[in-house]
Structure 1
């Protein structure tokens, strides 16, 4: 997310410009032919971070002018001052541009990636300033170009690394240190730093200050740690410039001459920043991660503790109880102290384990039975298991067990979730006995259904595999793979297969609808003949009509109807509309499916003489899970998903799905698709060859009375379209 600093108040900018001028006059001292003065380029970059985009060019001009004047006033020749000032200004602009982005949108310094970007930006700005300084030295003959470039670049890098972070957004992390620890930290910094820099005998002693800086980075708030680094840097560079400390008094063994004191002091500052900044950020990230982990654990515990209708039991790898939710305490009657550290075997009667072992085909052993619950999801997901409550009563729970693993994939424990279904059974039986018992049962079922509704979105895609496996095993039984079955058993298996297929269809609709809502449903466009699409969808859906005595008609144009679209999705629309028409039309009724085309659009009409839809419910018809009041009254099954999916598919193809209906007068759905999408329309010779040449499927004939558009149906398109002589009108 982009984050911008608000534009600074003019008074604040004046203070910054004044500070830059004062520090610049102090840092540049005399024309001794030595570059590397610690001119405040970090503050210059900070000004660029604070000003608005419109004022940034003006700020650069002011900074350049201040740099020229302070360097010239400090004793630099005017031409040298111009060159060094240009390098300082351009270097600051580069650091701002690479750190904060072209629009100043990156103002954070909270992660390793942020610090790497800032470090590379500071190095780039220092390199540019060094190159400009070398060019200035070459042109003016002032100093050695190589040494001038080195000293200028190192000085700029040190200043940028220390100062610019104060103008960026840091981690919002409170201090971990107490007030006493913070006072001790600052006392050590204030006292030790001058003492170490006052002694010039052992230069390596100054690096003893780094542990203090690391201490601060790990314990205090980020901005406080930066102030600590800034204080050490200010003391070190000031004492070095005044001729004190190991860097000012040390011997020049590298032939750097007058460059050596400031150069070594600046390198020391760079080392301090590079030691502290990454640690500071990593500590903050670890604190944030730990805080998030604690919050996540708290949220998980709150969720499990608030689910009083579900028992959640956590165990270690050996099955000893480590977590016992309030729901488990409520359902089983045990207190937390009574079960911690004990085996979950205490909740199950040996006879129940024996019965489960026989049903699952495993050894009569508690561990073997529980292992099946873990390893075979089609058994473990919601399989009934009887629990012994504290009062001795046996309750039936729908139980599932999930294995928990550590980072190395080893089993670290198990999570057992169970839903007490005993009350549900008793409540369902008591519905006939009394209204009061019915109310209690409904309330209980509503609680359970609400819990299951909450889980629907996360587990629906997991249902396909176990149900498919069930269908596969049923087919093996039907094929005699496990022995011959009698007619009664085959009929029972047929019902299992039919209901499994129904569940798979519902799951497929749910997943498709989810993809539509998430806008992840993509089309596989290819040239198709809409006649073949309609014919195929009609054949799939029209089987039921033959057993119910319905008069179902299909009429297709005599010539191909080319279209660029997704065959599977379009066929699904046809199946949904024809299936609905057949399902909601009583025996002896009529259904008409008509495809027609004009130069502008193709229209598929599906009409029926069914129960119709009340006019006040038409606006809700394409809402997911909506079912009309007439369908509910007549107990016609359905999921309420087909029309919402169909409308989404049609709209993805650039068309629209219209409906006209009234209660008791039948219904007409019209799919209107453009002949071309995005200016492209497939040619007829590019279409795949049809499987057959028949133009009509099912009985055809003159228009039937009661299916005309004037009888509560869609009105004719005012633009005109091909005449359709099917019963759909």
Structure 2
């Protein structure tokens, strides 16, 4: 490294004025050693010489002892200026203009010139002139001496030297600032990298833990079969529950078999035909996903299917199909969760047989009781008192209620046994809905509920059993009236489209918790709101209504907000003849009447 570069580096990197003062002190010490040790080198005027030394010493003491970190930086320039004057006096005392130690002046000039700002170049030059002219200013030399030119020529050289140093110092500062910024950025990036490494290690640990946890759960599920497939229905994962239920190992299925291989072929054909008669799922595995359109749309499909065991036996299962999502949110397959219904069906069969038996046993005595109550009421020879008539009315009302309950139990038993009779005919839905609304009006008036009907002007025709459809409407209206408080409203509407007719029963009642909606159509199910409000019922109405709608190839829906109300809908398919009439734009009323 060059001399000026070394000096600049020392000045720039010194953290305190004391360290910046060291070169001047070192130069003064060398000068004193030369005076003491070199023959012929001595002080010509000790008074000025020692005065200069004292000034430099005082400046050095101030540089080291004063709290410069708390003093504005601009004040530190006083130290090299003072030192410069001290060297000027020392030069006066060691020969004046001819002194050997005039070069010491350059040391504080370096300090001054390397300060930030162009003004310090002028300060360095002016103070150098002043220091070099001290022998003439103090009268120690004659102005006519030819050496006087040194007091002007040397500062001119120092001016050039100071300008170079100032520029080098400025560039050095910029470089140091850039390097410092890069170092800070590097340190920041290094810290971020270290943090990311720690986060990555933690994430990997959590991922391994999560994978182990998921694997443990996967291996622990043995009561249900869990089968994951790709978009074509090919098996990609096969859990121990599927192995136990179907009798195939993971090696025999994953990547080799399709989900349709384990479903009863006849049922698959029948179910597929309901969606699209052109689909042949037995010959084309790709088409099976058409049967789970609900899962494609992003919500689970839940239906009863029949699995076929490896030994050929059939297994009834409740099969839930849900989409399998990758990290980008794309559907990459489906997950099928199957619950064996064999034992549940056996239990339900025994329960249905018991219910049917009890219902038959109860219907006869109940009919007899109602008959005798009617005979007592109609007794003309000994008329009953008003109080007795009131008692009799209570007995009749409760007997009729029991008889209605027995009828519902018998009906549900018929549904479960597959002996659900329908007397199909062309039905005008508007008449059935209007009659159901009129039947419910007395109950609405007793409960203080506004019951309204919104019916279209034209006829809405479907193919169905009028008695059962009327029963379904009665059940929904009765339900809505029971769960709607005084001052509320129940609106029954009928609308139609090209393919279906929709009956909607909307109330402003207590609503149903979202978590309980899936169980609404289960036999004997009662919502928590019904239990809290002590609403009478045994939980058969909705299951019966659902069975009636399903038997008519319809769809039943429900939407509810707790404490705001509930809407039940019945969507029934319209006869093919009516659809054609709509398509060709003919006289719909005439077409319907000819059906």
TM interval, short-chain normalised: 0.3 to 0.5
Q: TM-score, normalised by structure 2?
A: 0.38
Report the structure number with the largest CA radius of gyration. 2
Q: TM-score, normalised by structure 1?
A: 0.31
